[in-house]
Each structure stands twice: as C-alpha cells, then as structure tokens.
C-alpha cells in the first residue's frame, strides 16, 4: 500500500514539474522549453517549432539583448512571459542571448 503511494507521489511530483511552475523559479532553459519552444524551434536539440514564422533559438541569439527584452516585456512576445518569476526571466534572457551581445 505504502509502496504504491510513494510511486504515485513520485509520479505526481515529476508530472507537475512543468505545469505548477508559473510563479516558481525555473531554469532559463526550462522556461524556454515550456513557454517558447511550442513555437520557436530549439536548433540545438531540434525540439519545438510549431510556428514557422517564429525565429529559431539560434536566430534570437543573434539579436541584441535590448530588442529581445523589449519584445518580451512590451512587444509582441509579452503575453508569453506573463506571470514569470523575475529570476526566471533573467535566466531566460541569459539562455536566449549570450552575455556579450550589446
């Protein structure tokens, strides 16, 4: 009985890792895979890419930090960062755009 319960709890914890995460801290990559990859393809792993108009992760990596930040905070992508935890947002920015971009 308890054995079954712990398997159930483990499944619950693993299964909820992504869905519960709206206000919780996530790594930048996890946030990308959850919020962005449905449309933007990850050119390294090949995951995602539902919208062919969306620039790939690699293409976003060539944009300026300012352009990406503006798009995510007040531009066409702002609905996709709604409710994101601030530290997760910073890590998402670092994941998207290398530090040395202007």
Interface with ligand HEC (CB under 6 A): 35-36, 38-40, 51, 53-55, 60, 63, 67-68, 71-72, 76-77, 80-81, 96
User: Which CB atom, from 67 or from 85, has the smaller least distance to ligand HEC?
Assistant: 67
Angle at CA of residue 58, ends 36 and 90, nearest 5°? 55
What's the min distance (Å) between Cβ of 89 and ligand HEC? Answer: 9
Closest distance to ligand HEC from the beta carbon of 76 (Å)? 4
Nearer to ligand HEC, 2 or 98 (CB): 98
Q: Which of 52, 54, 49 is nearest to 38 (CA)?
A: 49
Note whether 51 and 37 are within 8 A (CB). no
Phi-psi region of 48 (alpha: psi -120 to 50; beta: other; left: phi over 0): left
Comparing CB distances to ligand HEC, the nearer of 21 and 36 is 36
Q: Looking at beta carbons only, is 9 or 59 nearer to ligand HEC?
A: 59
Least separation in angstroms between CB 16 and ligand HEC: 20
Largest CA distance in the chain: 58
Strand ranges in 10-56 using DSSP code E only, listed in sequence order? none
């Amino acid at each position: 009985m308890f054995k079954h319960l712990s398997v159930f709890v483990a499944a619950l914890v693993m299964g909820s890792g992504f869905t519960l995460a709206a206000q919780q801290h996530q790594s930048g990559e996890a946030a990308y895979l959850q919020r962005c990859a449905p449309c933007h393809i990850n050119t390294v792993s090949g995951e995602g890419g539902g919208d062919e108009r969306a620039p790939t992760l690699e293409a976003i990596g060539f944009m300026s930090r300012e352009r990406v930040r503006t798009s995510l905070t007040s531009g066409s992508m702002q609905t996709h960062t709604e409710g994101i935890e601030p530290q997760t947002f910073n890590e998402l920015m670092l994941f998207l755009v290398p530090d040395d971009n202007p």
